[in-house]
Chains A and B, each alone.
Chain A
Amino acid sequence: MSRRALLVLAPALLAVPALAAPPDAATILRRADRAVLGETATYTLRMTVVRPGKPERVVEMKGWKKGDDQGLVRYTAPAKERGTAYLRSGESTWLFLPSAEKVVRVGAKQNFGGGDFSNADIFRLSLVKDYDPTLAGEESVEGEACYKLELKAKDRSIAYDRVVYWVRSDGTFYPVKADYYTLSGKNLKSLLLSQVKPIGGRARPTLMTMESRVDEGSRTRLEFLTIQDDPKLDDRLFSPTALERGE
């Protein structure tokens, strides 16, 4: 190839990555699933529940996660709520109330800690298992260029029948926003992921804000304070017995 020909083709060759077909929807979803927390993780969180006309409720907690179906969260502050814990193991979710010294089974779809996240939202962050994704296009959301994914529940046992999910298209695959819909097609709530910053050795969104679309003015913020990816966690940590013992 002559030098002249190279000069002519160079701009076209440079443009190849930009023109390359976007990854398929399943790949985008899989990458987005791991963008916030790894397969196994420990973390500390601050949850702020906002209700119109009421003072904000702030709770701090420590969490452990192993795979998609094992998770444990213990409240560390305020003092009066310290020790309260949620456990997800398999398809079951339990709540431990230290004041009653009792472990009770709760529904996965019940709200978590009186906020706008459900227990399933907290403990089953993976969408890959539950949804069939379709790439619906690309658009800018919250100032970020995003892939827009249409997620359809694989069956009628999944909490939200439809989710519209925006994932950054700049190669980071950070999720930016998710709209959750009921069976009847009503937008129930929206999740915004923001404040990308280095935490636990890599950059990731550290603030998740769930806003109710039904209950006006209600929203809940979950802010990651620390994250440690891929620690070694014993399966025994995720048992109701351990929950009661406070281990």
Chain B
Amino acid sequence: MTLRLLSIAFRNLLRAKRRNALAGGSMALGTAALVFASGLADGITRQLSDNLVAIQTGHLQVVVRPDDFEAQNNPFDAYGQDRLPDAAALARRIEAEGRVAGVARAVPYLFARGSAVAGSRSSVAWIVGIEPAKERELRSAQPAAEGVFLPEGDPLAVYVAEPAARKLRVGVGDAVSFIVQTPQGAVNSLDATVCGIFRKGAPWYDNAFYVTLGAAQALVDWPGGATNVKVILEDARSLSRARAAVEAAVAGARAGPLAKGTRIRVESYTEAGRFSWAIIQANQAALVMLSGFLFAAAGVGVVNAMLMSVRERTREIGTMRALGMRRSRVVRLFVLEGMALGVVSAVVGALAGGAAVAWLAATGIPMKVSSLAWMAGGDVLYPALELASLLRAVLSIVLLSTLAAVYPAFSASRLEPREALHHV
């Protein structure tokens, strides 16, 4: 019976083509906008979390924090400031003990602030000492635009972010000097040669310079030290199990002395990268608000279309009621009409929105304004077409359309056959 009503409902949609096209069109546009906005939000989420994991935190990170540490909500919060002693030994232990819990690699690195000088030009420098062979994710997140990735074991090589290279006017093979104040207080320097220039991704990596871990340790006068150990998992879904294993490995390690008032912490990438997660949450909040407005606008359209339909078909409803159609069936018929309109509109909208997202996911959207690049977590935003987001948009619109038809349906069911048949 319901199937028969459904076919009647679809047929009825064709009876008022213009009105239903307008109502359906607004819903299709709403669906497309929703799919598009979800694609942007998903792209930003993916971009920020992938960069965070690959470049700064891994899925988990081990870092030394002051006891009263409070994140300042900036992208550099993830980097440790204090010395993590015997970082290489700790990383090996985490790898060995965490393998059964899904740990793929544990990679120590050292972050230091300083200045970079080339000729008469200078720049702020975020100097990161890495073990190049272990940094597969970093290598693909920040690929070489010129030259090569940092070679293993070359203490005089430096891999430079494009904006920093531009600012210093250096190319591959040019010399760059770094000057830092060591944590103990002395001034130290390193003369290096540019081996490669990389595409940096997010704008907060504009001043990044990668050198080997050994070179960075010598520069900041921390033999064997690091600031972070990033832990890469085989599968991000095993985060909580891996976290327990990493915490156990850290607790069992005989770490050297820590700075007074500090302790070793294990942080997930969402904890360590609060700045990125704040952006992700802001985008999701914006998406919820946008959805609210779209639903309200589309809902009003559907209610209006259905009420018009009831008014135009008053005599028809009266005839059906006179022939014995129950009130409940009248309600079902109109609700199914609303649902049918929603299904058609949502599918059309999802196809249009999905096509736009798929195209932009391949080409990217340049974020030419700095504030947009910060919000998007990259100079180019690649939207992501997620099946879950697509289904969510379609189901939301169908549900909305169905619910919006309830009031007009009850209005129709309340019509008395005698009065309805007298309606002109």
Contact = CB atoms under 8 A, between A and B. Distances in A.
Interface of A: 51-53, 107-109, 153, 155-161, 182-184, 186, 188, 214-218
Contact of A188 (B182, B189, B218, B221): B189
Contact of A156 (B120, B179, B182): B182
B186 A157 contact: yes
B73 interface: no
Interface in B177-191: 177, 179, 181-182, 184-191
A158 B219 CA distance: 15
Q: Which of A52, A156, A158 has most B Cβ within 10 Å? A: A156
Given A52-B120, A217-B120, A184 B185 contact: no
A183 B182 CA distance: 9
Q: Which of B177, B186, B187, B189 has most A Cβ within 10 Å? A: B187
A216 B177 CA distance: 12
Nearest to A186: B189
Interface of B: 117, 119-120, 122, 177, 179, 181-182, 184-191, 218-219, 221
Contact of B181 (A52, A107, A216, A217): A107
B117 A183 contact: no
B104 to A, nearest CB: 35
A43 B196 CA distance: 50
Contacts of B187: 109, 159-161, 182-183, 188
A76 B133 CA distance: 55
A135 B120 CA distance: 34
Contact of B186 (A51, A153, A214, A217): A153
A159 B185 contact: yes
Contacts, number: 62
A218 B187 CA distance: 18
Task: Name A's interface SS.
Answer: loop
Given A52-B120, A53-B120, A159-B186, 11 more contacts: A109-B185, A158-B185, A182-B179, A183-B187, A183-B221, A184-B218, A186-B189, A188-B189, A216-B120, A217-B120, A218-B120
Contact of A184 (B181, B184, B188): B188
A-B residue pairs, 5 tightest by C-beta: A157-B185, A183-B188, A182-B189, A52-B120, A186-B189
Contacts of A214: 117, 177, 179, 189
Contact of A215 (B117, B182, B219): B117
Contact of B120 (A108, A183, A188, A215): A215
A182 B190 CA distance: 9
B120 A186 contact: no
23 contacts: A51-B120, A52-B120, A109-B187, A156-B182, A156-B185, A156-B186, A156-B221, A157-B185, A160-B187, A161-B188, A182-B187, A182-B188, A184-B189, A184-B218, A184-B219, A186-B177, A186-B189, A214-B117, A214-B177, A214-B189, A215-B117, A217-B120, A218-B120
A218 B188 CA distance: 19
Contacts of A155: 184
Contacts of A159: 181, 185-187
A117 to B, nearest CB: 13
Nearest to B190: A184
Nearest to B121: A215
A53 B122 CA distance: 14
Contacts of A158: 185-186
Nearest to A159: B187
Nearest to B122: A215
A52 B190 CA distance: 23
A159 B179 CA distance: 12
Nearest to A215: B117
Contacts of A109: 181, 185, 187
Contact of B179 (A51, A188, A216): A188
B174 to A, nearest CB: 14
Contacts of B179: 182, 188, 214
A33 B148 CA distance: 50
Contacts of B189: 182-184, 186, 188, 214
Nearest to A91: B185
Contacts of B122: 215
Nearest to A110: B181
Contacts of A107: 181
Contacts of B181: 107, 109, 159
Contacts of B186: 153, 156-161, 182-183
A51 B120 CA distance: 8
A156 B218 contact: no
Nearest to B181: A109
Contacts of A188: 179, 187, 189
A64 to B, nearest CB: 25
Nearest to B220: A183
